[in-house]
Amino acid sequence: MDRLTAQFAFLDEIDRLKSIDRSNCLIDLSRHENSAEHSWHLALFALILAPDAGPDVDINRAILMLLLHDIVEIDAGDHPIHEKHDWEQVAINERLAADRIYGLLPDDIALNFRATWTEFEACATPTAQYAKMLDHIQPVFQTVAPDTPIDWHRDIANETLSTGRASWLREAWPALWQYARDMTDGTLTATQRASDLGQRLAFLLEADQLKSVLRATPIANNSRRENSGEHSWHIALYAPTLADQSAANVNINRVTQMLIIHDIVEVDAGDAPIHGDFDAAAQNAKEQLAAARLFGLLPDAQNHEIRALWDEFEAAQSPDAVFAKSIDRVQPLLQNMAAGGGSWKDYDVTMDQIDRRVGVKVAKGAPELWKFIRSRTQKWFNRVT
């Protein structure tokens, strides 16, 4: 198997994480969360709470840990903390899953991703501890954020903070633990909400709505449309997986960060399908307003920093943004092929349209990648025409 075929075998396989449901619900309580969108949300937590991380924490490695940490659930499943499990057997099943799934990759990427996951699981380094703390407490915030939380969910959140797996944050990260404690008890003060931590958490909880923004493209098994939260997780992992397709002056860590935040404006502006009929100027205006509101929830300095990163992605002029835009255009092609045509059928798309609307942008940042993907895409259209 050649290198790119192996890379895409992994990227195609991990699409299945979008069908692994967790016990947590979305903040609007409309449905259970899946493990892919949960992983995106945690990576966003790691990025946004970076100013509160210790000096020994490698934020980019923590982000990668959280993008990767639940992939083993494709084989091993999710294990809600309020249920009884044979944790020794769970650990065995997860190691076997890691062997199989990361084993799809070329050896160098497989070793890196597997080592990153293993470090997260061991929780022995400052970076892994930072990532674990977020993994343990983020579900508490999500559980108690609804206007009227589900009673027994709130009970689990209380137990998690008091004696459960998030209780260690009382000493390890007291400010975050106390905020979660007071939010669970309904005793948050105006001072807490106005603090830098309070503003960051307001943004992070608002971003949960991205999980309810539907895209035109289906998930690979064609059972439903993909949402922008799980898309952001998937495409963020495209960056380190396909890093060897980027130009030498591209910073993959910055590309990954761009892709984590690139669709957040859709919380307000909605998705605009690339093959759909929409007013581009009107959509851009909506996205600019959305960026101002959403990133404006953050403390001023971080608002400017994250907004600048989003603006750079949108402008698509820097080497990092050009590559980010390139791979953002690749993922829907693979999804549609796996789903038997997906949105291509809905919008009566032709290969010529793909060349003009997608291929030009992919080739600009990753020319060899476009040659590989175009060949597969052309074969698909040849089969159906």
| 290 DSSP assignment | H
Joined tokens for residue 382? 């040849």
Contact yes or no for 209/267 (Cβ under 8 A): yes
- State which fold the 213-384 domain adopts: Hypothetical protein af1432 (1.10.3210)
Question: For 112-162, how does the pLDDT look when each residue is reduced to its tens digit (9 = 90+)?
Answer: 999 999 999 999 999 999 999 999 999 999 999 998 998 888 899 999 999
Question: For 329-343, how does the pLDDT look when each residue is reduced to its tens digit (9 = 90+)?
Answer: 999 999 989 989 888
Q: Using pLDDT thresholds of 50, 70 and 90, give the confidence band for residue 79.
A: confident
Contact yes or no for 210/187 (Cβ under 8 A): no
- Where is pLDDT greater, at 162 or 357? 162
| Average of per-residue pLDDT across 157-171 | 95
Contact yes or no for 169/176 (Cβ under 8 A): yes
| Residue that is written with structure tokens 């935040």 in the block | 261
Specify the pTM: 0.96
- The pLDDT of residue 19 is above 90: yes
Calculate the alpha carbon distances from 324 to 95, 179, 204, 242, 354 in Å: 31, 35, 22, 11, 18
Residue 232's CB is within 10 A of a number of other CB atoms, namely 28
Mean pLDDT of the chain: 94
Residue 319's CB is within 10 A of a number of other CB atoms, namely 16
Calculate the alpha carbon distances from 154 to 139, 148, 173, 231 in Å: 11, 10, 21, 29
Residue 60's CB is within 10 A of a number of other CB atoms, namely 19
- Where is pLDDT greater, at 340 or 233? 233
The gap between the terminal CA atoms of the chain, to the nearest Å, is 28
Calculate the alpha carbon distances from 29 to 106, 135, 181, 270 in Å: 40, 20, 21, 20
Q: Domain residues of the chain, as ranges? A: 3-207, 213-384
Contact yes or no for 157/167 (Cβ under 8 A): no
User: What are the residues whose beta carbons fall under 8 Å from the beta carbon of 350, sequence distance 6 or more?
Assistant: 381
Task: Output the pLDDT for position 68.
Answer: 98
List the CATH code of the domain at 3-207. Answer: 1.10.3210.10
C-alpha to C-alpha distance for 80 and 362, rounded to whole angstroms:
40
